[in-house]
A and B are shown apart, each in its own frame.
Chain A
Amino acid sequence: MKQKRSFSPLKTMLAAVALVFMVVTSARAELLIRITEGADSAIPVAVVPFAENGNMPAGDKLSSIVQSDLTMSGEFRPLPPEKMLSLPSQRSDVHFRDWKMLGQRYVLVGQLTRKGDRVQARYELFDVNREQRILGQTATAPASNLRSLAHHVSDKVYEAITGVQGVFSTKLAYVTLDRVNGKARYRLQVSDIDGKRAGIRLESQEPIMSPAWSPDGKKLAYVSFETGKPIIYVHELRTGERTEVADFPGLNSAPSWSADGQSLLMTLSKDRNAEVYQMDLGSRKTTRLTNHWAIDTEATWDSSGDGVFFTSDRSGGPQVYYMNRPGAEPRRVTFGSRYNARPRPDNQGKYVYYVHQRDRAFHIARTNLETEEETVLTRTESDESPSVSPNGRMLIYATKRDGDSVLTVVAADGGAAYSLPAAEGDVRDPAWGPVAR
C-alpha cells in the first residue's frame, strides 16, 4: 500500500512518461459562462466592432471578446452594438456628440489587419466627455491566437480607464469532477478566465486538490490521490513533466508558493498532526513553521512575502492567524464568527479573504488589515476556496448551484458576478494565475 519513492531525476522522468492519462486539450471540457448580475456603478463603454482587412479566423470577433471581458470585470457596461448609431474604426469617424447622446463614457474603435499568419490590431480609446484619445496602440498575434490578442486589448483598455492592471490575459486552474460508467473522473484543467480554451492537464479516478500557481505562471503545485494517498506534485505546464515533492506519511496538502518560486508552504502531518512547513524545492528540506496540537493548515505568504497567513483551530474552531515571519508567534486575525478559514491575501496587503460561516451559511468574507473591519462579500451559501485575481479587483470561489459545484467570480468589493459551471458535473478548487511575465 505504502509506496516509498525517491526524488531522483530518473523517477521524475518515468513519472512524466508513464502517466498516460495526461492529455493536453479538449474543447468539450470548456466551462460555460453565465453573467449573473452587473453592478449599478458599472461604467458605460462602447466597444465598436473592429474593421477587418483581409481574412480573419472563424469564431468570436475580437470586439465581442473585449465586450465580454469588460462585462465580466463587473466594472463596465458595454453598449450592445445594435444600439450604436455609427461604427467608426478610426479617430476621424468618431462623433462624440452621438456617443454622449447614448450615455457612453468611453469609446473603443480599431482595425484588424491580416499579415501572413498573424493579425495586427490597431486600436484607440476615447474619453467621450473630454473628447480626448486616452489610448492608441498596435499589437499583433498569430491568427490562431485571436483570443489572446483580444484579452490583451481588454487589459490595455481596463488599465487606461481604471489605472489598475488588467487580468484578462491571466489563466485559471481548477478541478472538474464527473462520472464515467459510475467511476469518478477528476480533471485538473487550465483555461482563460472566461472558461474558454480549457485544457486538461491531469486526469485521475482519485481526487485532485488544491492547485497553486508558481509566481511565473509556468508550474502548478497540487495534491493528487492517484497512488491512494495525498501527495504533492509540481507540474511543469509546457512539458507536462511532473515531480513528486512531498510524499511523507500522513497528510501532504495545501501547497502555496513563495514569491521567488523557490519554496512551497505546505501542510504535513508527519510529526503526528497537521502543521505548516516550508519546503525548499532545491534541497527538499522542510522547516516546520507551526507547532501546536491543533490543526494548522492552508498557509499562504502575505503580499510582502515576509509573513504567513494560515488556518488554525487552536481556539476551538478554525480561525485565520498571521505570523509576521516564519515561525513567529501567531496572531489571530478573524473574530467575526466561529468558523473562518483558508485565508488568501490581496496583492496590496490591504485585505485578507477567507471562508466565513454566518448562521448556517458559508460565505466568502474579507477583513481590512488596517481597520480590522470585516465584510461578507457573497450571497451564495456553500462557498469555499477563494482565490484573488492578481490585481486584487476580482475574486473567484467555488459554490453550489442546483446541486452542482460551480465557480463564481465577484468584484472584490462584492457587486457584480459571473459564474462558470462545468458542462456536466462539478467544478471546484479554482486558482487564479499570475500575470504572465
Chain B
Amino acid sequence: MKLSTQTKVIALLFSAGLFAGCSSTGEQPEEGGYGSDVAPIDQEGGSTVYGADDDGGISSSSMTEDERMEAQQQAEQDALREVTTFYFDFDTSEIKAEARDVLVAHARYLSDNPRQNVRLEGHGDERGSKEYNLALGERRAKAIERFLVVNGASRGQMETISYGEEKPAVMGSSESAWAQNRRVELVFE
C-alpha cells in the first residue's frame, strides 16, 4: 500500500509537469518486467500515466538499473556473508565446495574493508587425540586463511587460533554433533 501511495505522488508530480523520467522501481521488489521503462506506474487513479518518454528518462532509468543490480549483488553478498561457520569432514582440513562462494564473499568484504579484522577459530570433534585435534583445528583455520588471502583478503587482517576439541558447538556424541563441531568460525572484530 505504501508503494501505491508513493506512485500516486509521483503521478501527481508528472501531471503537474514538475518531474519527468523517474520511476519508482528502485523501491519495487524484483518482479519481472522492470526492464521496461514505459511500464504503467499508476493504474489506480483512473488515469494511466506513462513516464520516461525522453532521453533523460532513459538514462536515469538505466542508472537505477545498474544500482539495482549492484544492490542486488550487494544483498546477495551480504546474505552469503551471514554464513560464518565452515564445516569439515573427519580428520581433514579440506574446504568443502559449497563453502567457496561464501568465502569469496568474505574475502571481497575484507579486501573492500582493509581495517576490518577477523579471527579464524578452528575446532575439531571430540574423537581421537586432543593435541592432534588442536593441530588439526589450526590446520583448518589456516586453510580458510589461505583461501581468503588468495581471494583478496590481506594476511594482516587475520588471526588464527585453534581450540581443538575444547569448545564444541554442540554437546553430545552423535554423528550430527561431531559434524557440527568440526568447523572454523569467522569472528569479525
Interface residues of A in 232-265 (CB under 8 A from B): 250-251, 253-254
Cβ-closest chain A residue relative to B160: A250
A356-394 vs B, Cβ < 8 Å mask (1 yes, 0 no): 010000100000000000000000001011000000000
> Which residue of chain A has its CB nearest to the CB of B93?
A295
Q: Which A residue sits closest to B166, measured CB to CB?
A: A207
User: How many chain B residues touch the partner (CB < 8 A)?
Assistant: 27
Q: How far is the CA of A274 from the CA of B140 in the complex (A)?
A: 12
| Interface: B173 (CB within 8 A) | yes
Residue numbers in B under 8 Å from A362 (CB-CB): 127-128
In the assembled complex, the Cα of A214 lies from the Cα of B130 at a distance in Å of 20
Q: Is the CB of A355 within 8 A of B135?
A: no
Per-position 1/0 for A1-16, Cβ under 8 A of B: 1100000000000000
State how many angstroms separate the Cβ of A403 from the closest Cβ of chain B. Answer: 7
Q: How far is the CA of A269 from the CA of B139 in the complex (A)?
A: 10
Q: A273-B139, A339-B91, A382-B173 are in contact. Are A267 and B159 (CB under 8 A)?
A: no
A311 within 8 A of B: yes
Q: Is B153 an interface residue (CB 8 A)?
A: no
Contact partner, A267, options B127, B135, B139, Cβ 8 Å: B135
Report whether A384 and B172 are in contact in the complex, using a CB–CB cutoff of 8 Å. no
> Which residues of chain B are near A403, meaning CB under 8 Å?
171-173
Q: How far is the CB of A186 from chain B (nearest CB, A)?
A: 9
Q: Does A382 lie within 8 Å of B132, measured CB to CB? A: no
Chain A: which residue is nearest B163 at the CB level? A207
Q: Is A318 an interface residue (CB 8 A)?
A: yes
Residues of chain A in range 381-420 having any CB-CB distance to chain B below 8 Å = 382, 384-385, 400, 403
Q: Provide the residues of chain A in CB contact with B139, threshold 8 Å.
A: 273-274, 295
Interface residues of B in 115-159 (CB under 8 A from A): 119, 126-132, 134-136, 138-139, 142, 159
Greatest chain B CB density within 10 A among A210, A228, A341 is at A341
B23 near A: Cβ within 8 Å? no
- Chain A residues within 8 Å of B127, by CB: 362, 382
A225 on the B face (CB < 8 A): yes
Shortest A95–chain B CB gap in Å is 54
B162 at the interface (CB under 8 A from A): yes
Is B100 on the interface with A (CB-CB < 8 A)? no
Q: For the complex, what is the distance from the CA of A189 to the CA of B108, rounded to whole Å?
A: 47
Instruction: Select one of B129, B135, B166 contacting A269, CB under 8 A.
Output: B135
| A185 CB, min distance to chain B CBs, angstroms | 13
Task: Check A269/B138 contact, CB under 8 A, given A225-B163, A317-B91, A339-B91.
Answer: yes
Nearest Cβ distance between residue B165 and chain A, in whole angstroms?
9
Tell me whether A156 is interfacial, beta carbon within 8 Å.
Answer: no
Q: Once the chains bind, are B129 and A355 in contact (CB under 8 Å)?
A: yes
Question: Given contacts A207-B163, A253-B135, A295-B136, is CB(A382)–CB(B126) below 8 Å?
Answer: yes
Quick one: given A273-B139, A317-B91, A318-B91, are A229 and B132 in contact (CB under 8 Å)? no
Contact residues in A for B132 (Cβ distance below 8 Å):
295, 297-298, 311, 313, 318, 341-342
Q: B131 — nearest CB in chain A belongs to which residue? A: A254
Which of B135, B159, B162, B163 interacts with A1 by CB under 8 Å? Answer: B159
Is A62 positioned at the interface, with any CB of B under 8 Å from its CB? no
Q: Are B129 and A298 in contact (CB under 8 A)?
A: yes
Q: Is A209 in the interface zone, CB < 8 Å from B?
A: yes
> Which residue from chain B places its CB closest to the CB of A385 in the assembled complex?
B130
Kindly name the residue among B128, B161, B164, B189 whose own CB sees the greatest number of chain A CB atoms within 10 A: B128
Give the distance in Å from the alpha carbon of A2 to the alpha carbon of B119 in the complex.
12
CA A295 to CA B173, docked complex, whole Å: 25
Closest Cβ of chain A: how far from B101's Cβ, in Å?
Answer: 27
Inter-chain CA distance A171–B1, complex, in Å, is 76
Question: Which of B119, B132, B172: most chain A CB closer than 10 A?
Answer: B132
Interface membership of chain A positions 198-228, coded 1 if the CB is closer than 8 angstroms to chain B and 0 otherwise: 0000000001011000000000000001001
CA distance A103 to B160 in the complex (A): 63
Q: Which 7 A-B pairs have the closest CB atoms?
A: A341-B129, A207-B166, A274-B135, A342-B129, A254-B131, A295-B135, A355-B129
Q: Which residues of B contact A (CB under 8 A)?
A: 91, 119, 126-132, 134-136, 138-139, 142, 159-164, 166-167, 171-173, 189
30 residue pairs of the A-B complex, CB under 8 angstroms, read A1-B189, A207-B167, A209-B134, A251-B134, A251-B138, A251-B162, A253-B131, A253-B135, A254-B131, A254-B134, A267-B131, A274-B138, A295-B132, A295-B135, A295-B136, A297-B132, A298-B131, A311-B132, A317-B91, A318-B91, A341-B132, A342-B130, A342-B132, A355-B129, A382-B127, A385-B129, A385-B130, A400-B173, A403-B172, A429-B130
